[in-house]
Amino acid sequence: MTDLIYPTIDLFLYDLKYSLGDNPEEIKQNQQSYYNKIPEYIRPLLLENGQDLQGEYVHLLQDVYAQTKHHNEQYEGYFYPVLLGDSYGLLVECAFKNKTHAQPAKIFVDIKAEIERILKSQTVTIGQTWMLSGWLPPAQTKSSEEIAQACYQALMPGLDWEGDLQGQGHFLGANIFELTQNNQHFIIIIYPDEATLDQSGKFYADWIRLFYYRHKIVWAYSQSRFLKNSLQNYFTKIKVGSDAIEQARKKKGELNTLQKTLVDVQNTLNEYTRELTILDFQGGTIDINLSNYEKRLERIQQKSQKITANKETEVEFFTEFSKLVKDKYRLQITKDSENLERGLKLLSDTINAVSSRVELEKAERDRNFQEFLSLLAVGWTFGSFVAALPGLGEKNDNPVRSFLINSFNLKPSIEDVKTTTEVKTVTQPLSTKAGTTTKEVKTVTQQANQEPWWLVPATKGIYTLSGFVIAILVVLLWRRLWRRYS
């Protein structure tokens, strides 16, 4: 029989209070998600209500054992909520209420169901550790490993003991085993007697911290994997956009369209930079928690030796996790960060080069358009000035008018010519034999009007157009010579 006395499950739960960039509403939602794991009769007793508590380890209840014990006919236990910096921790203990008779290993199925009923199947954001414990009855013939294996298979049927076992050792003279399956973590402790189990109660605050550091490391690493995948997608998107801009530019694509695409690519590049920063932040999170994990493990070792000098404590197997973090987790993030940083530089250089070329082309087109407008203004001004010169409107001094009439035979029609007749009487003296007399002579003068109605505006327009063209040609010639010799 694989029996234990006082079989107990201690479930350590960890949730985020806030993460980088969370707004007050998101922090409030995280808090509510944590509170939902705690029975309603305990929630009003939480110290955090109406307060913004800060600290690496803060008890959220003053009198833990007096206020949070839960009882029913078969089980007993308590709730122990704490604040762990930017995270929440919750210890839920549930034990079969009988310290006299041994219970079969399958009793852990019922204890687990009771805990899940209390928690209402709430999920966690960081991780959880199942700690199974009990002490051996005097007549137990099975080894501690066989009992631990039976307990594990009862709690998690179908899992592979040999494959999931991470290590084993001794704690206060008890046999301790560590197993992992995906993101779930299991600790099984088989105590030799009740007295040893009672002494283990002094280590719950240490276990809460140790398991928290472990889960925070695993959580940060899993976040880094999501970030890496997202960054790779961003890289592809930026590369495709950059290539599209370059091809469109070479084909003289519409600058407005190129500009919009360039803005979209730049926004994606900003997201890439932001997530790359968060990736580095996750690496820093792992470093801090790994250091805390190793220090806490050392403290547990030293503390246990002081409490029970004559009982063996050997938990070196926990250091295997430290090696995994250093050799895989941290190294992987470092390499990913370096490669993605080089990718960022490559993308930034490419985008900046393309952006510069697009801006230069846009500036060139704008300058050409301004020069065109300037030429029009200069030409029009000079043409108007030429048309307004005095004397160019006179008939005899108008070469343009003569050119038009002679070249195109533009003779005024009869209707266009109107004459006026003026009669003048002139008195002339005459000499005769009888004396001097006078004679009146009438002189008739005919005068045509100055210009036909259609020739005056046409002539002025030709002056303006001629001056316009001449001015533009002169300006263009001057600019060309200036650029050649400057």
Rounded to whole angstroms, the Cα distance separating 73 from 79 reads: 18
Under DSSP, the state recorded for 411 is: P
Distances (CA, A) of 318 to 143, 152, 170, 206, 408: 22, 19, 11, 14, 110
- The letter for the amino acid at 96 is F
Distance separating alpha carbons of residues 85 and 63, to the nearest angstrom: 21
Contact 244, 350 (CB under 8 A): no
Distance CA 210, CA 201 (A): 15
- Among 146, 143, 142, 115, which Cα is nearest to 129's? 115
What average pLDDT does range 450-460 have in this prediction?
52
pLDDT digits (tens, 9 = 90+) for 243-285: 877 777 666 656 566 777 778 888 888 899 999 999 999 999 9
pTM for the full model? 0.74
Q: Measuring CA to CA, how many Å separate 133 from each of 190, 194, 332, 417? A: 6, 11, 36, 129
Residue 198 Cα distances to 71, 87, 192, 436, angstroms: 19, 29, 11, 171
Q: Tokens standing for 368?
A: 């050409």
In angstroms, the Cα distances linking 149 to 182, 220, 325 are 18, 30, 27
Q: Tell which residue, 158, 106, 162, has the closest CA to residue 132.
A: 106
Q: What is the pLDDT of residues 205-223, one digit of tens each?
A: 999 999 999 999 999 999 9
Map tokens 């110290």 to a residue: 47
Please state the domain extents for the chain: 3-192, 218-358, 388-423+443-485
- How many residues are there in the chain? 486
User: Cα(70)–Cα(111) distance, rounded to whole angstroms?
Assistant: 13
For 160-206, the pLDDT digits (tens) are 999 999 999 999 999 999 999 887 899 999 999 999 999 999 999 99
Q: Which of 8-17, 46-55, 458-467 has the highest mean pLDDT?
A: 8-17
For residue range 422-453, list pLDDT tens digits in order: 555 555 555 555 555 555 555 555 554 455 54
Question: What confidence tens digit (pLDDT) does each residue in 383-422 have?
Answer: 565 555 555 544 445 555 565 456 555 555 544 444 445 5
Beta-bridged to residue 427, according to DSSP, are 440
Amino acid letter for position 111: I
Q: Is 457 left (phi over 0), alpha (psi -120 to 50) or beta?
A: alpha
